[in-house]
Structure 1
Amino acid sequence: MTDDLRPPTATNDSGIPTPSDEFSLTVGPGGPTVLHDHHLVQKIQHFNRERIPERVVHAKGSGAHGFFEVTADVTEWTSASFLSEVGKRTPMFARFSQVAGELGSADTVRDPRGFALKFYTDEGNYDLVGNNTPTFFVRDASKFEDFIHSQKRMADTGMRSNDAQWDFWTLSPETAHQVTILMSDRGTPRAYRRMNGYSSHTYSWKNAGGERFWVKYHFKTVQGVENFTLAEADAMVSEDPDFLRRDLWDAIAAGDAPEWRLEMQIMPFEDAADYRFNPFDLTKVWPHADYPPITIGRMVLDRNPANHFAEVEQSGFAPARLVPGIGLSPDKMLMGRVFSYHDTHLHRIGANYEQLPINAPQCPVHSYNKDGAMTYRHAGAQPVYSPNSYGGPRADPSKELPSWSVEAAEIGRYAYEKHADDDDFVQPRALYRDVMTPTDRDHLVTNIVAHAGDRVSADVQRRVIEYWTNVDAELGGRVAAGLGYSEAAASAA
């Protein structure tokens, strides 16, 4: 073998040549292994720490790199630099995921799908954390952990419980819209590249003149939406548990880069005050008739990760990551997530997770945050405190994010203030009656009955019937019949 073809000499993580990757250092051929075989010890220690704690939610994910391109002038609504001119491209990374499943979960189980985006803008990273649904199960962050616990494994059995899921849902009527979507075939997408993505939350935009707007993001798949039926999804669990991951990887590897069209719903700032329902309620959508979507750009994913762990597992997204021209809204779930997402990555990956290449901004960083485990980036002789008189970075008040005013009120625990159409069943009823096709409605009933069947207690099943009857009486009757209850029992429920 020539020197050109000879493989490189193996080393440990310090770059020191490794004497052997096959044999431990022992006292004679049959003697004990010695503790000072540092290479062996280091291999064992690193292996024991190869896995960071999995995400509490969205554990199993897939990702890809690409770009976002502006296709329409949006400067009348926002001053965000990465949206400042038609044709401007921003590198980005997208992560698609399940919500409740663990790392080893099959891709095609019924679940919402995460749709998290990181834009490496010239003014810092902008993260948009959404799902493949325009709504969510609850509207207050105080209920989020309880909702997730109801989807996870039970303390006594170590198994997931359909009974617990329906128990939570039927005691929380605000879940009806999202559960209607989940129990439709949209709960089992055929491919990540064949599903839409939504910000779900309402955000705010501010233009250069200081005018503010409320906005929602809709990423519409150019490939067309396709879903599995229940039978198809169940069959794929055993045939290929990584089906969605494989489909995304293979499409990009073959040069078939998936694309999404970004459509924005834009509400004048003042409209929110007297809109017919609370526009910041995460369990509701804004009717397109009121605020028609406006196409402003496209997202293209054209490069697979080079290392799944380094890029997909160690990626961290947080809705607190906002750039000038884009802000939050009075959405109570969004307020909770602003704290929660960054905090969970500090625990899961470490204090300096934003210095990892997948999370690091692609623009200069001038921060007074210092030290901590695994610090890599540093500023040399820069002052470590602010204010200072030695040339350290200074804040720029002109970069304040858009906000809103709040009337003086007593601190307390409040439900959203009621509006005329603040009914938890109006929108799922419209979805069932006016949007779904007869086939969609048949599949919805099939999926509900399968999920709320034998493993759900009789008392909870009766609440399931009542829940769906509140959405639509005919739907409730069909669910009752599917669960083996008579019409009389269904109406009594």
Structure 2
Amino acid sequence: MRSKPKNRCDDEQSEEERGTIGLLTLSSGKPVEVRETVGLNDNLIRNLYFLDSITHLARERIPERFVHGKGSGAFGYFEVTHDVTGVCKAKFLSEIGKTTPVAVRFSSTGGERGTPDTTPDIRGLAIKFYTEEGNFDIVALNTPAFVIKDPVLFPSFVHAIKRNPTSNIRDENSRLDFLTLRPEDRNFMLTLYSDRATPASFREMFAFAIHTYQVENEDGVPSFVRFTFLPDLGNRNMNASEAARLAGEDPDYLTRDLFDNIANGNYPSWTAYLQILSLEDVKNAGFDVFDVTKILPEHQFPLHPYGRFVLNQNPINFFAEVEQLAFSPGNLVPGILGAPDDMFAARIFSYRDAHNYRLGPNVNKIAVNSPMNEVHTYLRDGRSPVNDNEDNAPNYFPNSFHGALPRVDDQKSKLIVVLQNDDGSIEQARDYLLPTFTPEEQESIPRNLARFMRPVVDFIRKRVIEIFEVIDPYIAQKIVEQLQEQ
């Protein structure tokens, strides 16, 4: 778990009054003599300070996240505000007033590290709860529905939203080509091409976990929940013109806004909600509640508050505490079994594989990813950090030499099995999601789409218009009109 070093800004003394933090050394600990800090007219190959610095420089970067590459983060706490023990036995939810440390990372989906924060895109909000039973991660988006339900399509979706392999330029042809060929993504499209996709600040951004999780209480009775986080400041978005202006003037605008507000004591907070379903609710919902491209309508499944999280600490070192942060839907705790849909299963594997590539197999030994509870595994060796490498404990299971043993939970239920079909989401987009948009948000859809469609070939334009003729003929007509005006 993340430590809490003293913030350099907390001390009221000036830099001159505080003096140095200590003696400059090599990474091996040898003190650096002042003449070694000058390389002119020197035998550089024998200058150990130069060698230490120059050989480290080329190895400072690690692989970028293949999605959600541009991001920012902060730390704080989660507090339980309402009793949900009848639904979930997870200990961090066990009593009102209980607090749990959290780490949160905000990001754009398709952008690389240098992408402007306000580039139109779906945003991510990932939260890590450091609980006494291990880390619990929720990897959420600012859209209530995902783009696809079939995990086989995920690599193609990522390729479609990334740069063209020939020109290395972002290509709206590929993104709209993919989206218009998948009938399940209509909820996703409405959010992506409206102003809802671009928050005015991370502090005012919705977050939806998209999966319907299976949870259980102390008696082993299962329930099914979706996690939602709504900003206490309210939701506020940014129009495309303002986003484009800020992308040029301040590419790190959202990151700066979050950091500066926390530094100034304006701590952002989100209220946490559950939509709760029984097994009977699942059977009688009238649609597949485990379909990540579908929304759980609030009039059918109301939001129940259960807590809030507050972000009150900025990172002390961005690389150590944000770039090395690693979230996974597979980081679960007793009482939260995960989701039974195929996309959740695929994400468990994909996230773990991505972390192994980016950070190595000992990702959970990196301080910011380390759980707060005592850990005993049969995992050994590999790329650093290995820490104590489990000392001299047995490295195989089972064994007769006092190695770690699994716990017994007589009340643990099994994750249910679901069969999913390949139906679309156009009815939900038309009948439920679009009516929740304000008139201004609805007007932003044709305006933004027409802007993105300028370089798009005619047959893809035609498909976009045909889709919106079914969702809302007015929006389709406005797209046509605005394309003609260009």
Deviations 1:3-46 (A, max 9, x none): 9846632111111112345323x8xx3x8x45343332221111
Match of 1:404 among 411, 415, 419: 415
Match of residue 66, structure 1, among 63, 72, 76? 76
Structure 2 partner of 1:18: 32
Q: Secondary structure at the match of 1:105?
A: coil
| 2: CA distance, partners of 1:151 / 1:209 | 45
Alignment correspondent of 2:398: 387
The verdict on how the C-alpha distance between 1:433 and 1:191 changes in structure 2, with shifts beyond 3 A counting, is: closer
Change (3 A) 1:21 1:467: farther
TM-score, normalised with respect to structure 1: 0.91
Is residue 2:379 matched to residue 1:378?
no
Partner of 1:488: none
**Separation in 2, partners of 1:401, 1:160:** 47
Whole-angstrom CA distance in 2 between matches of 1:203 and 1:278: 13
Secondary structure, aligned partner of 2:174? helix
Tell me the equivalent position of 2:421.
417
Query: What RMSD, in angstroms, separates the aligned Cα atoms of the two structures?
Result: 2.0
Q: Is the 8 A contact 1:195 1:225 kept in 2?
A: yes
Q: Which amino acid aligns with 2:461?
A: Q
Output the CA distance in 2 between the equivalents of 1:12 and 1:212.
Answer: 56
Any conservation in 2 of the 1:170–1:464 contact (CA below 8 Å)?
Answer: yes
Preserved CA contact (<8 Å) 1:432 1:441: no
Task: Describe how 1:128-143 pairs up with structure 2 within 5 A.
Answer: 128-143=138-153
Instruction: Look up the equivalent residue of 1:15 and give its one-letter code.
Output: G
| Aligned 1:96-107 pairs, distance under 5 A | 96-107=106-117
3-state SS of the aligned residue for 1:479?
A: helix
C-alpha deviation, 1:400, in angstroms? 8.3
The structural deviation recorded for 1:105 is 0.6
Alignment-mate amino acid for residue 484 of structure 1: Q
Q: Any residues of structure 2 matched to 1:124-273 within 5 Å, and which?
A: 124-273=134-283
Identity of aligned residues (%): 38
**Secondary structure of the residue that 1:483 maps to in structure 2?**
helix
311-320 or 174-183, which deviates more:
174-183
C-alpha distance in 2, partners of 1:155/1:405? 41
Q: Which 10-residue stretch deviates more, 206-215 or 348-357? A: 348-357
Match of 1:484, SS state, is: helix
8 Å CA contact 2:120, 2:197 repeated in 1: yes
Q: Which runs of 5+ in 1 are unaligned?
A: 408-413, 486-493
Corresponding letter in the other structure for 1:449? A
Worse overlay, 282-291 or 269-278? 269-278
Question: Does the 8 A contact of 1:327 with 1:401 survive in 2?
Answer: no
Give CA-to-partner distance per residue, 1:85-125, whole Å, 9 cap, x none. 11110001000001000100100010111110000000011
Write the deviation string for residues 353-388 of structure 1: whole angstroms up to 9, x where unpaired: 211110001110111101111111332221121111
Q: Structure 2 CA distance, aligned partners of 1:175 and 1:311? A: 34
Query: What does residue 6 of structure 2 align with?
Result: none
1:436 matches 2:440 = no
Per-residue deviation, 1:192: 0.3
Give secondary structure in 1 for the equivalent of 2:414.
Answer: coil
CA distance in structure 1 between the aligned counterparts of 2:397 and 2:326, rounded to whole angstroms: 27
Alignment check: 8 A CA contact 2:132 2:372 kept: yes
Shift, 1:351, TM fit: 1.5
Q: Where in structure 2 are there 5+ consecutive unaligned residues?
A: 1-15
Q: Give me the whole-angstrom Cα distance separating, in 2, the residues matched to 1:423 and 1:170.
A: 12
Aligned counterpart, 1:461: 461
Deviations along 1:223-243, one digit per CA (max 9) or x if unpaired, are 111111111111111111111
Aligned amino acid, residue 74 of structure 2? A
Give aligned pairs, total.
468
C-alpha separation in 1, matches of 2:18 and 2:313:
30
Q: Secondary structure at the match of 1:324?
A: coil
- Deviation at residue 423 of structure 1 after TM alignment: 4.2
